[in-house]
Structure 1
Amino acid sequence: MHKQHRLAKREDFNKVFRFGKSVANQQFVLYHLTKPEHEFFRLGVSVSKKIGNAVVRNRLRRVMKEIVRLHKDGITLTADFILIARKPIAVMDYEQIESCMMHVLKKANLYKKRKGC
């Protein structure tokens, strides 16, 4: 994922947590904050130690970022959002994770499938 699409600073995370809205399903919690002045979305990913060891957590982070990268054309461009993984995700395969992520993004109205896709 390009650097411009990353949410990395603690103050940015705190703004999204404090002023943003949250949506959840069994596998993910999504915090999002609309930023009309931005021309691109920014993503933050969080995977707790409760989910597994470092190997499992890093794999899940990579998978989550890859799914967002592949679907970035349909994601609302003017939002900062944070995806937090929940415990059931540790035993899921790629297709199930992708399906659950798309569900929570659509639930938050952050993902709209583009015409011609």
Structure 2
Amino acid sequence: MNQKLKKKIIMQYNEEFQHIYRNSKTLSDRYIVMHIIYNNKYNHKVGFAAGKKLGNAVTRNHLKRILREIYRKNTININDNCCILLVARMAAVTADYDTINKSFNKLVKKAGITKAVRKNDKKISS
């Protein structure tokens, strides 16, 4: 089951990123900064960013690919009524995939944007 992220939910315009930066609730840890807005005009959009301080284009793109994959695998457990912007931090450059994945899941739980799993539903693990 190879599920891709739909292009229509990925943020691509500067206006979208700036709106999130200005109006979001921010949660962070050592590896990721998560900006979240609930019920806004960009509902169920997701963006990925890595600043130039993290390294060259290859390094930044690698981090964004990791963040995209982590979001893709965990999207089934995230509510649709929010817009998320994930920004990689310096510690993520040397961290492995599992560490960043645990960091993401911790931030999602802390933000309270996980879907409630009903008793009869099977939880899909990645």
TM normalised by structure 1 equals 0.88
| Residue 60 of structure 2 corresponds to residue 57 of structure 1 | yes
2:10 match? 6
Q: Which runs of 5+ in 1 are unaligned?
A: none
Q: Which amino acid aligns with 1:5?
A: I
Q: Which runs of 5+ in 2 are unaligned?
A: none
> CA, structure 1 residues 93+36, in 2 after alignment: closer, same or farther (shift >3 Å)?
same
Deviation at 1:36, TM superposition (A): 6.2
Deviation at 1:113, TM superposition (A): 6.5
Partners of 1:30 and 1:81 within 8 A in 2: yes
Which residues of 2 match residues 4-83 of structure 1 at below 5 A? Answer: 4-35=8-39, 41-83=44-86
Q: Take 2:26 and 2:57, find their aligned partners in 1: how far apart are those partners?
A: 26
2:100 match? 97
**Per-residue CA distance 1:46-71 (angstroms, 9 max, x = gap):** 10111121111111111110111111
> CA, structure 1 residues 36+49, in 2 after alignment: closer, same or farther (shift >3 Å)?
closer
Partners of 1:7 and 1:80 within 8 A in 2: no
Q: Take 2:75 and 2:55, find their aligned partners in 1: how far apart are those partners?
A: 27
TM normalised by structure 2 equals 0.82
Q: Take 2:15 and 2:40, find their aligned partners in 1: how far apart are those partners?
A: 18
Identity %: 27
Q: Take 1:17 and 1:70, find their aligned partners in 2: how far apart are those partners?
A: 24
RMSD of aligned Cα (Å)? 1.8
| Residue 116 of structure 2 corresponds to residue 107 of structure 1 | no
My pick for the range that moved more, 51-60 or 86-95, is: 51-60
